[in-house]
Amino acid sequence: MPEVRENTLIVEIRAGAGGDEATLFAKDLFGMYSKYALAKNWEVYVLDEYQTEVGGLKQIIFKIKGENVFSSMKYESGVHRVQRIPKTEKGNRIHTSTVSVAVLPIPKNAEITIKPGDIKMDVFKASGHGGQNVNKRETAIRITHIPTGLVVSSQTQRNLEQNKQSALSILQARLFEKENKENESERKEERNKQIGNAERAEKIRTYNFPQDRITDHRIKKSWHNIEKIMSGDLEKILEKLKQNL
């Protein structure tokens, strides 16, 4: 991988299978990472988010800045599975839901340049819970990168220019990730088939609330006291991943 900024990265969390429960777990994961960042004295900046009527998150994209943040967080990319009884469940049944996490490195020395002629910008009104407009002015922005078809948006900042800069940051990180995957594919096609293409699709971790257990499937190790871990006590898991991956 080309040189990346060790102290800055972008994280995308998206609800997967499981309906409302998946969006609630996406919010829980964001809370877990935010509390861990606070304990590490890192800064978290929300770049874009889509909330749901039940208080969950369909998607959230945020930037983390802090010492050695990339080396600590880089193994979080993948599918996170949760098994628990949803608050809305009347039959006391355990549901299984999934959430995808992508950790996007940011290139050092601005290796990824975005030409003005390669992007199309659309502005719209920012939305809140359930999609209702919360801003009478068009301050949200959607950027389409014409050569690749990548589409990014930002609506959490107060004005159009701030949202534009946030969206461009997301686009740069995604283009960097895309270039890295293409380069990896050219260098070692077979390895890319086994690892690169499956990075996000692979189930990396299960959060089993009834059994009070978190299992990371890549290193086949489990931890208990799930509520404490969800409150930001991630250090022991991340350190174990650094040692074994």
Taking only the tens place, the pLDDT of each residue in 77-106 is: 999 999 999 877 777 899 999 999 999 988
Spatial contact of 51 and 129, defined as CB atoms under 8 Å apart:
yes
Mean pLDDT in residue range 34-47: 96
Spatial contact of 82 and 99, defined as CB atoms under 8 Å apart:
yes
52's CB contacts (< 8 A; 6+ apart) are: 20, 23, 58, 129, 130
Mean pLDDT in residue range 211-228: 96
* Domain positions in the chain: 4-109+199-235, 116-187
- CATH topology (fold) of 116-187: Double Stranded RNA Binding Domain (3.30.160)
Is 80 exceeded by the pLDDT of residue 111?
no
- CATH topology (fold) of 4-109+199-235: Alpha-Beta Plaits (3.30.70)
Spatial contact of 217 and 241, defined as CB atoms under 8 Å apart:
no
- Strand pairing report for 203-208 and 78-84: parallel
pTM here is 0.78
Is 50 exceeded by the pLDDT of residue 232?
yes
As to burial, measured by CB atoms within 10 angstroms (0-12 exposed, 13-18 middle, 19+ buried), residue 11 is buried
pLDDT category at 200 given cuts 50, 70, 90 is very low
Mean pLDDT in residue range 45-54: 91
Is 70 exceeded by the pLDDT of residue 150?
yes
**pLDDT for position 197:** 39
Which tops the pLDDT comparison, 6 or 145?
145
Kindly compute the dihedral angle of the four CA atoms of residues 26, 27, 33, 39, in this order, to the nearest 10 degrees. Answer: -160
Lowest-confidence pick of 32-46, 110-124, 159-173: 110-124
Structure tokens at 72: 């600590």
Q: Calculate the alpha carbon distances from 173 to 12, 110, 131, 186, 195 in Å.
A: 11, 10, 27, 20, 20
Please provide the average confidence, as pLDDT, over all residues in the chain.
85
